[in-house]
Structure 1
Amino acid sequence: MIDNPKIKTIENLLLNKRVRLVQPKNGYRVAIDSVLLAAAVPARTGDKVVDLGCGACAVCACIAKRVNGVELIGVERDPIMADMARQNMSANGFTGRIETNDLTNLPCTWETGQIDHVVANPPYMPANRAYLSPNTKRLTSCVEICASLADWIIVAQRCLRNRGTITLINRADRLNEILSTLNRGFGSIVVFPLFPKAGRDASRVLVQAVRSSRAPMRITSGLLLHEANGHYTSKAEAILRGAPINL
């Protein structure tokens, strides 16, 4: 196990134990959302992918395991987490670049128009609706303290080439905010609901859009995550083992 002298860590396994991920023992840790997000990115060999707010680099690692030969760039504001991301990429045999920076501080010329795919798992809660945890790392991972949801999308738009894609995961009740920002400069928007169980409302949504496209929006049938007994459905299990989500 890789360890960081500044923080206690724990090792977890993703994609049917094919990705080994070291992350903080306390505070925010990677959940199923990161694996689902990575599975939805339509990257191909030779593509350039940016993960904004990459954390321990779970999304990048899952993309690299599924698609050979992608060029990965992670952006992470926390120096300790950025260092952990570098260690995780190296330990899994992946190459990539991790930039230690807040996404709102990136120069306006940073990777402008150079990226094929931007992926992001922004904090799910605005500060005025959230419990403000005393754990700083959990707080900044889950609550909008440093940047708004619109900030994430604006930075992604600046980086993307024409016809490049942005893929996001967030709470279903924030879909209106996401769409209102994407409507300026994006098209071919796909909304992919994630249902916790049959008969339940979607709790999360995957949203993907294409820069400079004018194609209309689609809302898909989405994915049912759990059976009535709490076990993952066969489709969800396949994705957790490495299958792609074709939006």
Structure 2
Amino acid sequence: MRNILFRIEYCLLLGCVVFILGSNISSAMELETGEATDITSNSATLHGTVISGRAPELGFQYGTGSGYYTTAESVQDWFPGKKEVSARISGLLAATTYYYRIAGHDTLPGTPLPMVYGNEKFFTTLEATPTPMVTPTPVCEAESIEASPKTLKLQREESGDVTVTVTGSEGCPVVGETVTAKIKSGKRRISVTPLSQNADAGGEAIFTITATKKTGNAKVKFKTASGLRTTVTVKVGR
């Protein structure tokens, strides 16, 4: 009988000790919410301090209304004795004010302890960075063709260059336009190389005309893929 009474008294005493210990831990716990840092348009880092007590279940509560917290973020690397804690949150709305606080409680086995909260603070996310508008480069369509020189004077077996320029509206260079050369008259007096060439970044295509041993006049027609034409006269002297 004495053993039974002793066990009952022991259990009651142990329960009181656990209850008192749990109450002291809960009442001794104190948390403080810190300032938010590294704020962007959709994320921020929340900070807090465990001033006293144990808080193995620790994290931050936040939301867009004061005292109304819709989301919680746990502190993953907390351990007893660590005071400064932080958590990175993301997926936030741009240019929006968020209210937050640190929250935690002890998990003493067999003893339910209430949550303890830090003071509420707030921060405002940044404006979203607008996506830059890309202005498309206007297409320069061929509208005119010009050859220089219009008249090329050569001696027998001498060579000279003719530059053909293709431009569009307001003088923009037509890049990549194909220009072909064809001898209209005097085929025995001259040769042309190349017979076809694409205009470069300046809208120019350069052709080399070489005189043979025969003297006299010849004509070379230059034509674009879009149908523009121009003619150069070649005079071969002695």
Same fold (TM over 0.5): no
Identify the structure with bigger relative contact order (alpha carbons < 8 Å, sequence gap 6+).
Answer: 1
Indicate the TM-score class for this superposition, using the shorter chain for normalisation.
Answer: under 0.3
- Higher-Rg structure is 2
Higher relative strand content: 2
